Amino acid sequence: MTNTRHPLGLAMAAAAFAATKHKNQRRKDASSSPYINHPLALANVLSNEGCVQDPVVICAALLHDTIEDTDTTQEELIRQFGPEIASVVMEVTDDKALPKAERKRLQVEHAAHISGCAKLVKLADKICNLRDILASPPADWSPERKKEYFNWAAQVVQQLRGTHARLEAVFDGVYARHLEFSEAAGLRQTPR
């Protein structure tokens, strides 16, 4: 399917699709916020902080967790949004059949080799995840677990360097805030 819809209409269709697919899901933060807030945050970061206007990137950001976290299939995304958007979503989708440690290792290993569109989505995802952990982390996460997540995210982003200077600077700013909080709490950091 070649997508001939207006870019704004396409993005709104992706947002509505994601909202339907994630409707019963909640984030792991203290307030159990609606999951849809996360893909919307990615699209917002890309569009308003990164000035990314590519509808493929924005739609893939909105849809990035549908295959990984819902009953959505690749074929369904192809039918609804075309092969290009579905391909980007597949590039940023973890294989949930693998153990968590292996999925995290593969994200670092594969990050440098995904498409430019997928790199943008991955970069926005890491920015939003770090912001969420700073603002309202999962209740059961210790300071050490937060530090581990931040350091792992930095390893992924290191593989994305050269993709988008503005978004990389946003990531670096969020990471620096984490370092400030960690130092204030007396946690030692390992170099990125």
Structure tokens at 71: 């009953």
Q: Is residue 190 part of a domain?
A: no
In whole angstroms, give the CA distance from residue 85 to residue 65.
13
Does 4 score more than 70 pLDDT?
no
**14 in a structural domain:** yes
Range of the domain at 50: 7-185
CB 161 within 8 A of CB 168: yes
Q: Is residue 1 part of a domain?
A: no
Please tell me the distance from the alpha carbon of residue 46 to that of residue 41, in angstroms, as a whole number.
9
Query: pLDDT tens digits, residue range 108-157?
Result: 999 999 999 999 999 999 999 999 999 999 988 999 999 999 999 999 99
Please write the tens of the pLDDT for every residue from 10-28: 999 999 999 999 999 999 8
Q: Distances in Å between the alpha carbon of 120 and those of 4, 27, 65, 145, 155? A: 23, 22, 15, 25, 15
The answer as to whether 2 is a domain residue is no
Asked if the structure places residue 111 within a domain, the reply is yes
Provide the CATH number for the domain around residue 17: 1.10.3210.10
Identify whether 192 is part of a domain.
no
Catalytic residues: 68-69
CA distance 70 to 77: 12
Full-model pTM: 0.92
Both structure tokens of 4:
């001939």
pLDDT digits (tens, 9 = 90+) for 78-114: 999 999 999 999 999 999 999 999 999 999 999 999 9
Number of domains in the chain: 1
Residue 138 lies in a domain: yes
Question: Does residue 28 belong to any structural domain of this protein?
Answer: yes
Helix axes 7-21, 55-63, angle to 10 degrees: 10
